[in-house]
Each structure stands twice: as C-alpha cells, then as structure tokens.
Structure 1
Amino acid sequence: MTDMFATRITPAEGYAVTITSRAEYVTDWAVRYFGTWWNAERVDAADVDGPVVVADVDSGEVAALTGRVTGGQHAEVVYANDRMLYAVNGDGVVRAVQPDAGMAYRWEPGQRRMTVFATEETAVATAAARLAREMVRGQLLHDGWQILHSSAVTRPDGSAVLSLGDKGAGKTTVGFLLARAGWGLLANDRVFVRVEDGAVRILPWPAAAAIGFGLLDAMGLYDTVRDRLRAGEQMHPTQHQRVTDALLADQREPLWKSSGRELKPQFFPDQLDTMLGMRLAREGRAAALLFPRITAGAVPAVSDEDRTVEDRDFFNAQTEDRYPDVFRLLPTGRPTAGLADVLANLPHQALVLGHDTAANTALLEAVTDRLL
C-alpha cells in the first residue's frame, strides 16, 4: 500500500482542513504555503478526520471525470484563469474539470471531502492549497467572519494596524515597510475580521505576494532575491518567466504586459520571512486604521482626507473574479452587521506617501506611535 501524507491547517481554534496525498510534495507544499499564518503542520494520515482535501496526480481519474462531466448536462465558468466545466447532482455532489489544464475535482458535501486530480504535481499541489483555503474561508464566513481588503501588521502585544484603500493606494507597501521595521506581518492584501467582545479580531488570508521591482530595490531586497534565485531557490510558479529572466540578469526596470499590468516577482508566503526578513504573525486585534495614498514625487505627510471604512473595503462572493463558488462552499446570506461601525470608531489617519522608502517608514512609525 502506498504511503499517505497529510498536512493539517488550523487558522484558529475550531477551524481546520487537512490535505492528504500519496505525494509528499503536495503536503509539503501546504506546509510551506500556510505555515505560520495558518498553523500548518504535518500529521499522521491515519488520524485524519473532519474536512479533507485529497489530492493526487492521476491522469486516469482526470480522464474519467472529464468524460463524466462532458457526457452530460454541465455549466461553464472561468476558474483560476482557466475554463471549467461542472455539474451538480441531486445530493449536492459537484464534479468539475478543467480540460485545458488537466485538472479534475469532486466535492462531496456530506463527507466534507474534496478530491483533486491533475496530470502533474505542481498543478495538484497549488489546487489543493487553493481549495483548502476556500474550505476554511467557507467555515469562517459561516461563523460570522468577513473579509476586508487590507494589509495588517501587529505589535508583540497583538495590537494591529490595518491599512485600507483602493487598488494601488499603498496597502501592501505600508504592510511591508512596517514589517521590515520590526512589526509582525499579518497579511498584505486581505484579512478575516470579526467583532468579539467589542473588539475586532483579525486572522490572516494566506496568499502568494507580488512585489514590484521598484519596491524590492527601494527596500534593499532586490540583491537578496537575485542571489537566492541564482543559487537555485524557486519562486512561486505564478511568476512570469520574463520576471525570472530579469532577476537572473540583474535588470531592475519594471516589466509590463501589453495590457499595461506590471509583471512582478511572486513569493511564497514563507519567503516573506525566510527571504525578505518579514516576521509573520498569526492573529491580532485591530487598534488603528491607516488610509494611504501613494503619489509620485510626494513628500510623505499626514493628510486631512476624510476617509472611513466603506462597503468597497469589504470582499464578498460577488466581487470574486478568479474563484467563483462552483463547489458551493460559501454562505449565501448577508454578513453580520456592525463591524464597519466598530472599525470606524478606531483611531485612524489618512496619509500621502512618496517613493522614498526611508521617509515613508519614518512617517509610518511616527503616526502609528501616535495612534496607539
């Protein structure tokens, strides 16, 4: 009998999903991806209970599921940037395939069991991690948590600063600069939040991190990334080959797609710590809010902009554009009211940031000291 390997992720007490596989590569990937943020640990596969993702390389199963889905009535969506065909039976079992990507899935809600098959290891490992995260997301949302578009950093006492704003406002930059200054990095783009005992508890949303060449260079980290890559370290597989080639060649100018989108180095969550020196934090309590706005050539300064928490700062199933809820893992009701009011009553400050990393960091440290 082939050995089975297992990794359990437990973002907080009462929430857990286990990934199992015949390939240790798959479960090791989960340890690396969720790591500190979601308390990922290897466990004995014989002791697995509760929600589970079973993930393996098996081209025969991919072919069998593809035939079953395409041979009957099915719907079509774009999932993780690839065409997906899926069908739901009367018991709520969802079968789905991505023929162009060599992927196949089966979700059995009664057993809380997700099975994932692919034709190669990296594909099945990334899919297993993504679906485990979606299953945890469903657990948390069912229990009254919400997702906020925000970066978050924490002090040793657990007090956290959330940075909010539109895309490109500087949320990630604020999080990374404060993490480099010694704060714990709780998240760089999204967080789970819920009101508990009158305070806002925060849990991270593990995800690969994209950091542009300019910010890497300004933080003094470009050389480290280049040297680690030259030594053979692998970046996240979503990184474009042009980015890898530029890093190896020590080319520091930003790269752009024809669409105008910047191509950036892509980091595994654990590399934020092991490569970039940003300590990861497991949870925190919201103590203050920042509303940054990056403006080229600006001198970093506080702003009198009257910004508060708004509906657009919250993330929901309707705003998800990459992972539609094909497997029906998420609740359909409205989120719990009151969270925005609690957040709005926290100390807060709008900021204008420039491109001088040292000056930005000095302002952020001064403002957070005052707010806390």
Structure 2
Amino acid sequence: MPLTATRIQADTAHVTVASHTPAVTDWAARYFGPWWNATPVDGPGADGFAGGGGLVLADTDPDRLGHITDLVRDYEHEEADYAGTPTLVARHGGMTYAVQTAERLAYHVDGQRLVIIGAEPEPVAVAAARLARELMRAQLQADGWIVLHASAATRDGQTVLTFGDKGAGKTTTALLLARAGWGLLANDRVFARTRRDGTVSILPWPSAAAIGLGLLNATGLYDPVRKRLLGGGQLHPTQHPRVTDALNTGHREPLWREDGKELKPQFFPDQLASWLGLTLTLTTEGRAAALLFPRVDAGTAPAVLDDTRTVTEADVFSAKTEDRYPDIFHLAPQNTAGAGALAERLARLPSRSVVLSHDIDANTALLARTAHDVTAGHQTPN
C-alpha cells in the first residue's frame, strides 16, 4: 500500500504524519483540522514528507512491535506514565525507545523523527496524533511559545483566557461562551507568546475535549450525545469504559475515580461542532484581550466578584508541573524562559473573577455579559 501523509502547521512549526495505513493520516487530519492547518501532502518517500519539520512514521507491524519491545526490555530502562499509560523507556546510542504494553505500541525516536509501531490501526492513529502534537509543541516552544493552563474563547479577533485550578470551571466557561456565540479556541491549554508590539498571541492546543456528564445534562446536550452514541457514533477512544457504559444506560450523574478525579466523556475536536453544535474558531491565532477567573459554588447566584486574582507563573506548564504529557522523548526545550514576562504582560489585561452556580442559563448570561464588558474597552498594551 502506498504511503499517505498529512502535514500539520501552526505559526512557523510543521510536522508530517505519514503511514501506509490511510486511517492513521485521516485521523491526524480530523484531529488537528479544526484548529491547526492539516492538509494531505505528496512526497518522494518517507523522509521526503518532512520538508525540514518533524516527521511521524506510524504503521501496524506486529513483528517490528515485538522487536522494539525486546530491545527496551534488554536495555536498561525506566518506568514512566505517559498520557495515563504505563510506559517503559530506554535510551541507547543517542536514540530513545519506548513501549506501552497495554496499548501494544512501541516507539523509536531519533531527534525530530518518530517511528510508532502497533498491533492495531486505532491505537497507532491515536499515538501518532499525540506525538505529532508533541513535535509541534517542541518547535513552538523553541520559537518562544509557552503553554498555559487555560481555556480560551474568541470573537472579533479578541480572546478571553480563563484560568483556575482543576475543577474551577475553565472548561465550563469556554463551553458556555461558545454556546453564547464565541468561538471555542481551547478548553484546557493554550500556547501564548508576547509580540514585539506588546500584545499576547494565542494558539490552540488541539486535544480531545473532556466534558462532564453533569455539565452535558445541565446544558441539554446529554440526550443528543446519547442518541448519537446509541446510533453507532464513536467518541474518542481514550474515554473510560465506565463513561461509555453510563451514556449507554442513561446515567447522568458525575462519575469519579478512586483518586477523586472525575471521569468525563471525551470528544474529538470536530465533534464539538458536529455533536454539540458549538462554534469553533477557524482562525489560526488569537490575541489575548481579557482574563476570567471562575469558581463554582452551587449555593449562590452567578456574580462578578471583587477579588484581585491574577495570572502567575504557576499557570504556566513546565517540565516540573506537566503531569499528563511528560517529555519522556526529550523533544522540547527544558526551560520556560519568558514565562515571567508573559505572566506580567497578561496581568496587565482587564480581568474579572466570577462565581458560577449550577444554573446554566444564568451562568451563560453572566459570562456573555462579563466577556463583552471586559473586552469592550481593551486596547493594545504599551
């Protein structure tokens, strides 16, 4: 079967996913298409696809899978948790090898060239998209972009960033603003960089969107999602089986793991529009205009608060704070130079702290009004 490829680009970074299995490159196009430029490309051969950027070669090959697995076990290796999956990592001769036994996946990494081998097409496709994003992340960070723990919604060229700890309401805020006509740019992370003119540019972080069962039910989206699922539709394969079972049986209450983390339905990026009817922004870059800091309190009415919360370096992902996608393949720069200056610049933007209740309509009205008010007088910082 001939080699197919999808080229992904954001700002000056670009990565190509190539495979003899069209489902792998089709997956990359679907995954990145809503927010990053993802287009099919032709090339003279595997390495010819890269064009100076990163390259991910991903295929199913049980024999090679077994070979790399044996290499990792023979070499001195370490254990890590990557994307929630136990991973064995070995480094030898300047190269990195890794195996995820539960997923039946193996990796061979040499600089900006990654080879992924698996037993089945779907896990290979998921891994290829994830590692393509990591290569993009490495290039963007090398060019001065910094990853923030924030959701983002944009309209008329202005982007509202929402910050807060886990469970504070970042995804809820972005989702409700999208229901109110804003474009959804990101639901949990963004890339940010200060420009020479003092503005802060924002790029999306493509990912599966996690939206809790309770929030789906409160927004009236639970029944349409369940109907599509019962009709044969598929949500993202990283979704926990308990969530799938809950949707199939009509369970609407939040589900929790033993460690207290909520288990949520996982949507492909394009399903935010096709399944949930949300507006996705198709712009490749936004400009930060304002900050929101929500918290949820079921016992009070939605309101704007008087506190002075602002963004700090703690809202920046670093090698120490990254808990889901640690840089086990040593792809990205190990410093966050510029994080302090970025936080300082963001702190100058108009901001509001808000309390949200479980009244979705009231929350939406408050957020839409607040986002309008806080961006109405925004001007480019000096």
Partner SS, residue 125 of structure 1: helix
Q: How does 1:87-106 map to 2 (within 5 A)?
A: 87-90=90-93, 92-106=94-108
Structure 1 stretches of at least 4 aligned residues deviating more than 6 Å after TM superposition: none
Deviations along 1:247-300, one digit per CA (max 9) or x if unpaired, are 223222222333333222111111011111122223210001111111112100
Output the TM-score relative to the length of structure 1: 0.95
Cα displacement (A) at 1:88: 2.3
Partner residue, 2:306: 304
Residues 1:287 and 2:289 aligned together? yes
| Structure 1 segments unaligned to the other structure (5+ residues) | none
Contact 2:318 2:335 in 1 (8 A): no
Of stretches 279-288 and 15-24 in structure 1, the one that deviates more from structure 2 is 279-288
Partner SS, residue 331 of structure 2: coil
Partner SS, residue 101 of structure 1: coil
**Correspondent of 1:70 among 73, 76, 89:** 73
Letter in 1 for 2:369: A
Contact 1:20 1:45 in 2 (8 A): no
Partner residue, 1:107: 109
Of stretches 97-106 and 219-228 in structure 1, the one that deviates more from structure 2 is 97-106
Question: What is the alpha-carbon distance in structure 2 between the residues aligned to residue 89 and residue 370 of structure 1?
Answer: 56
Letter in 2 for 1:42: P
Residues 1:33 and 2:31 aligned together? yes
Letter in 1 for 2:95: V
Question: What is the alpha-carbon distance in structure 2 between the residues aligned to residue 80 and residue 300 of structure 1?
Answer: 35
| Structure 2 segments unaligned to the other structure (5+ residues) | 376-382
Cα displacement (A) at 1:164: 0.6
Partner residue, 1:244: 244
Partner residue, 1:331: 333
Percent identity of equivalent pairs = 55
Residues 1:161 and 2:160 aligned together? yes
Question: What is the alpha-carbon distance in structure 2 between the residues aligned to residue 88 and residue 262 of structure 1?
Answer: 35
Residues 1:4 and 2:3 aligned together? yes
Contact 2:305 2:353 in 1 (8 A): yes
Letter in 2 for 1:8: R
Q: CA RMSD in A?
A: 1.5
Question: What is the alpha-carbon distance in structure 1 between the residues aligned to residue 154 and residue 6 of structure 2?
Answer: 27
Partner SS, residue 15 of structure 2: strand
Question: What is the alpha-carbon distance in structure 2 between the residues aligned to residue 247 and residue 99 of structure 1?
Answer: 28
Of stretches 202-211 and 37-46 in structure 1, the one that deviates more from structure 2 is 37-46
Question: What is the alpha-carbon distance in structure 2 between the residues aligned to residue 132 and residue 76 of structure 1?
Answer: 22
Letter in 2 for 1:19: V
Contact 1:186 1:283 in 2 (8 A): no
Question: What is the alpha-carbon distance in structure 2 between the residues aligned to residue 218 and residue 195 of structure 1?
Answer: 37
Partner residue, 1:358: 361
Question: What is the alpha-carbon distance in structure 2 between the residues aligned to residue 118 and residue 87 of structure 1?
Answer: 18
Of stretches 41-50 and 287-296 in structure 1, the one that deviates more from structure 2 is 41-50
Partner SS, residue 223 of structure 1: helix
Letter in 2 for 1:162: L
Question: What is the alpha-carbon distance in structure 2 between the residues aligned to residue 4 and residue 84 of structure 1?
Answer: 28
Output the TM-score relative to the length of structure 2: 0.92
Of stretches 141-150 and 37-46 in structure 1, the one that deviates more from structure 2 is 37-46
Question: What is the alpha-carbon distance in structure 2 between the residues aligned to residue 261 and residue 332 of structure 1?
Answer: 28
Deviations along 1:277-335, one digit per CA (max 9) or x if unpaired, are 12222321000111111111210011011101112211112112233212110102342
Cα displacement (A) at 1:230: 1.3
Cα displacement (A) at 1:240: 2.1
Cα displacement (A) at 1:45: 4.3
Partner residue, 1:133: 133
Q: How does 1:334-353 map to 2 (within 5 A)?
A: 334-336=336-338, 337-353=340-356
Partner SS, residue 136 of structure 1: helix
Contact 1:184 1:279 in 2 (8 A): yes
Q: Per the alignment, do residues 147 and 221 of structure 1 end up closer, same or farther by CA in structure 2, a change over 3 Å counting?
A: same
Letter in 1 for 2:5: A
Question: What is the alpha-carbon distance in structure 2 between the residues aligned to residue 367 and residue 83 of structure 1?
Answer: 43
Q: Per the alignment, do residues 3 and 143 of structure 1 end up closer, same or farther by CA in structure 2, a change over 3 Å counting?
A: same
